[in-house]
Structure 1
Amino acid sequence: MTKNRKSPFHAGFVAIVGRPNVGKSTLLNRILGEHVAIVSPRPQTTRTRILGVHNVAGAQLAFFDTPGLHRAKGVLNRRMVETALQTLSEVDAVLMLVEAGTGPDGRVEIGEATRWAIEEVRRSGKPAILGVSKMDRAPRPTLLPVIAAYKDLHAWTEIVPFSGLTGENVDRLVEAIAAHLPESDAPLFPPDVLTDQAERQLAAEYVREQVMLLTRQEIPYAAAVTVEEFDESERREGGGLVRISAVISVERESQKAIVIGKGGAMLKAIGTGARKQLERLLGCKVFLSLVVKVDERWSESDATIRRLGL
């Protein structure tokens, strides 16, 4: 009788890519069980590469949430797309997301930008899983036409429909990805590592998330957030207080007025929403001070974009 051989351990980096607003950050948060990537209905919410580490039996998956792939115009958008494309060259596998659902006539329309994104995935030469996102929004009979429309556009290792919002089939998706990661003698990260986002960075992102959720459509793309103070001197194990001061930068005086709101009401709502998220993250009380300033055309300035870490 032969002894049972231990199954090999798999570990590797995975790029989550796709068109803007396809559900990449929602999926990462669902997998990790934590709010490490901000989410809003606006395209291009994610501006930088975000690491999220997930451990399952026999595998460790290090996901990179990336900005949406699109034909970029403007300095900031080009920087975001460059980040996503560079990530493709640095990972062991790719998870390409497309949306479930068909048009009113039952056809699946695959736009030129999506085909370009798939071509970039093909050029990377990495094993690629196709995730059909937002299956909770689409009638089940429409899933098969979507799979059929995409299956011949690339040699996908697997095609898995799922819902990042409800969690349906996400475990199956993770299993499919893990199976295509390299064998490894050990995990890439210690078991307690969740993300590369420092608490200071997350504070800035939580504020920006509230700006995107609460202000008019013209504001989100023009807003950036910088944390100028992150004072933990009064923080204690299991409680205490963290004092955070942040600046919300916009590009025009009219945008500043919208972010502040009548009598400061909008800025107060932004601060309240961000503070609640931060208190959950940090496990203590948070004093959050916000100011708004105008930095004209910051999104077109290489120097400013670098200063903001984008």
Structure 2
Amino acid sequence: MTDWAAFAGFTGVILAVLLTLAHLSRGIPHADGGDTHFAHDLDSAATAVDDDTDSEHVLDGKDESRISDDSPQTTDATEHGPSLASLSPAPTPDEDHESRAATDTTHAPQPAPDQSHEPSSANIPPHMLLANVAVSQGLLGAFLVTSAWYTSVPLSALGLSLSGLPSKLAVGVALGGVLYAVNRAGSSVSREFGLVPDESLRDALTPETTTGWALLLFVVLPLIAGFEELLFRGALIGAIAVGFDVSPWLMAAVSSVAFGVGHGAQGRLGIVVTGLLGFALAAAFVLTQSLLVVIVAHYLVNALEFVGHDVFGW
């Protein structure tokens, strides 16, 4: 006999863990040394610091330029207080040259602490981020599958069926292509209105080697699509609707909100866009009653996003 309440409890725990990890991932530093959520701000700040530092170095190289034309130029130590030079013996020419170089280095403004100067542990390369995603998604997915088995949830409630596989695969491919095209068109329109999505997380996960691309396309993205569709569509819509006699459309709305929030690392605009994408996948699941359709579509949207941007510059 199916224990729907226990399965709902397990699903809630997995969802809470996933949302917590999604919230924490907003602060994960990527290969550029910046946080995924604050990457653009850090880049802007670093540029400003570099500009200020360069201008100060130029000023240090010519001390007269620090003093305005209207102000009197004087070297009287009593006017501004004693200097370190006034407390030391007069240097030789060589010592004077070395002293000036040391003084320029000592008094040059130091840039504010930035994560790019932190130890190498803060600069996580893409393959390590991909491995982290694969492990976390794999463990959560395994726990969800084990929960469904333990509570005897029927496969049909999760949208799993072996019938009509070729047609379901074709529908999934078509749906994925359409959703990707709509997503790209929406992104282009939003940019015209000054709404730029935060792409730092995708950039952080973009591989730099052939092995990394193989890991992304054949391990990480299938795991993400399979786990997220099993949780947000199969469990939250299919199993809850069947087990508690709730409208699947109501659960589609609830799961889509959770799906958007779970992608908080992409910024506020990313949450909205992902929530809408989640509802489209939820609607497809309700209409087809197939988990395979939405898994294939989800995978294609993610894969085309990476390949299209990095390979074709879309």
- Shorter-chain TM range is under 0.3
Q: When the two structures are superposed, what TM-score results if normalisation uses the length of structure 1? A: 0.23
Q: When the two structures are superposed, what TM-score results if normalisation uses the length of structure 2? A: 0.22
More strand by share: 1
More helix by share: 2
User: Rg: which structure is higher?
Assistant: 2
Task: Specify which structure has the bigger relative contact order, considering alpha-carbon pairs within 8 angstroms and separated by 6 or more residues.
Answer: 2
